[in-house]
Structure 1
Amino acid sequence: MILAIALAFSLVAATFAFHYRVLIWLGSNTQKFNLERQPQVLLIVIALFLAHIVEIGFYALVYNWSVSALDLGVFEGAPVGSAMNYVYYSGVIYTTLGLGDIQPLGHIRFITAMEALNGFLLITWSASFTFLAMGRLWSWENGCRNPNKEKQGNPL
């Protein structure tokens, strides 16, 4: 159990540090691509999506290692023998979707629980960053007007 706890908290620390570095990089380098303001938002969203895929991959690697080498548990339900199945399982847990077609048994359940909390926090962090970036970069003047109200003299 101590090993599973150490692995879980190491993964949380590693994914937080990775995500933090991605956000720092995006915050300081997005303007350097010489894109218009709104395409910068698209670049941010794509980069954050890819960061989440990498973080899901971190967990998938540890699940594979935990089952095959460390004997911290097994998975029941749908077969989880290939790398893609570990990525699938990790993605389901990371996004807190929790389909339930694969069930962890043993100490890897703790890693699974920590991944759900970690994924929720990282997705929320990305959403907050994107919201702030859109507030700074997105031009709302032309995109959010209601033409019917403008005819009546109201700006919105």
Structure 2
Amino acid sequence: MLSGIVAALLVTVAAVVASVLVHYEVAIRISRKLEYWQLALRGRFLVLFMALFGAHLAEIGLFSVALIGLQALPDTGQISGSEAVSLWDYVYMSAISYTTLGFGDLTPEGGMRLLLSAEGLIGFMLITWSASITFLQMQQHWAVGDE
């Protein structure tokens, strides 16, 4: 049982660190590219939103893979509520945790609760980080009227 908790903790820490690094890389690279490309205001925000949306999807995918990996390890829990858990069930669990919507028909058990709880917290933080990046871009470029 203790080895399952340790495994869940290690997988959780790895997924959190990886998702923060993914978000950082996308945020810094898109910010630099937007300054270099000198796009019109609509184009700037379309590129920004799509890049940040892609980062969030990648992070949800990363946590989905972590869930699948955790499921394969002994004593780390499972997802209950469905007779056969599919790939899309893992993606669904990850997405509803990341966006802090909460659980529906599927619920985590054991160490998976740790991973999904951490995903809810880091997802909220990364979503607000994206909102801050967007706000800073708006503040910088809408005041100038870069249409």
Partner of residue 36, structure 2: 32
SS of the aligned residue for 1:49 comes to helix
Partner of residue 54, structure 2: 50
Partner of residue 118, structure 2: 114
Q: TM-score, normalised by structure 1?
A: 0.83
Separation (CA, whole Å) in 2 of partners of 1:115 and 1:79: 24
SS of the aligned residue for 1:100 comes to coil
Q: Which aligned runs of 4 or more in structure 1 are off by greater than 3 angstroms?
A: 31-34
Separation (CA, whole Å) in 2 of partners of 1:57 and 1:127: 20
* Cα deviation 1:42-77 (Å, max 9, x = unaligned): 210111001000000000011111113445111111
SS of the aligned residue for 1:84 comes to helix
Q: TM-score, normalised by structure 2?
A: 0.87
Root mean square deviation of aligned Cα: 2.0
Runs of 5+ unmatched residues, structure 1: 144-156
Separation (CA, whole Å) in 2 of partners of 1:91 and 1:43: 22
**How many residues matched?**
142
Percent identity of equivalent pairs: 36
Runs of 5+ unmatched residues, structure 2: none
Q: Structure 1 pair 65/38, CA: closer, same or farther in 2 (3 Å)?
A: same
Give yes or no for contact 1:38–1:137 (8 Å, CA) kept in 2.
Answer: no
Q: Identify, as 1 or 2, the structure richer in helix.
A: 2
Query: What is the CA-CA distance between 1:124 and the residue it aligns to?
Result: 0.5
